[in-house]
Amino acid sequence: MHNNLSILLWKELTEAFRSYRILIWVMVCAFFGILSPLSAYYMPDILAMIGSTQNMVLTLTEVTYRDAVDQYVKNFTQIGSIVMIFLAMGCVAGEKADGSLQFLMVRPITCRSILFSKMLALMVMELLGIGVAAMLCNLYGRYLFPAFPSTLFMQSNLLLLLYLLVVIVMTTSLSAMVSRPVAAGLAALGLWLVFSMLGSLGGTGWYSFTTLGSEMIHVVEGFAISYKPFGSAILVMIGSVIGGLCALRCWEPSH
């Protein structure tokens, strides 16, 4: 299994590189890494410019590194999640549609190797992109905001990696359950929206993995974090993997 997994992982990474998925993700991450501190720093000037054209006075409180971090978190937990769903939704369902998965299933390769190789490839892509974004945001943040907490910010990105990992596992497993990438994408987007709405309700909603974004801000501020969303993240991933494996084992190609 280990040998098959390494071969399949290399295959997935090669396909991701050739299809420009890795490049797209890294470019999106680099854009957010640069945009977050810049947009926070220049927001008062932007509002003043808009206000001058409308004969209005728009003012903001003093801009600090907290605004840059908040913008960074929002960019990745919202737009970044949607981009990741879009990139992952066809990893299994797409191969069902074009017949390449059928070619793998008749080989002595387990369903676990197929599913885990796709998840691992997306994890490598995720780690590469977030690493680039974190370094760029850290550099610009330190330049624009002298009090920017570099160490705490870099540590907080571990929570972002976990957040997006849940999205990856959930989307990949759903892709294994359906036969069309669009169906997998819509299902993953729907579940993500449900968890996001639960997380915004407070109370039991704090157990939603989507509140990991709020915990990132707590880490940067030096506050203690809540472990409630970690349980949700683990349960969602375990349930997704089990469902994906069961669906893949029961799948029969249509003739």
| Structure confidence by residue, pLDDT tens digits, 69-88 | 999 999 999 999 999 999 99
pLDDT band at 52, cuts 50/70/90? low
> Does the pLDDT at position 192 exceed 90?
yes
Say how far apart CA 41 and CA 27 lie, in whole Å: 22
User: What's residue 220's pLDDT?
Assistant: 92
Nearest in space to 172 (alpha carbons), one of 94, 80, 97: 94
User: What's residue 59's pLDDT?
Assistant: 59
Q: To 10 degrees, the CA torsion angle through 25, 150, 72, 183?
A: 40
Say how far apart CA 189 and CA 30 lie, in whole Å: 23
pTM metric for this prediction: 0.91
Name the average pLDDT for the chain: 88
Nearest in space to 72 (alpha carbons), one of 150, 137, 128: 137
pLDDT band at 168, cuts 50/70/90? very high
Burial 173-201 (b: 16+ CB within 10 A, else e): bbbbbbeebeebbebbbebbeebbebbee
Average pLDDT over residues 118-137: 96
pLDDT band at 252, cuts 50/70/90? confident
Tokens (6 digits) for 19: 């299809």
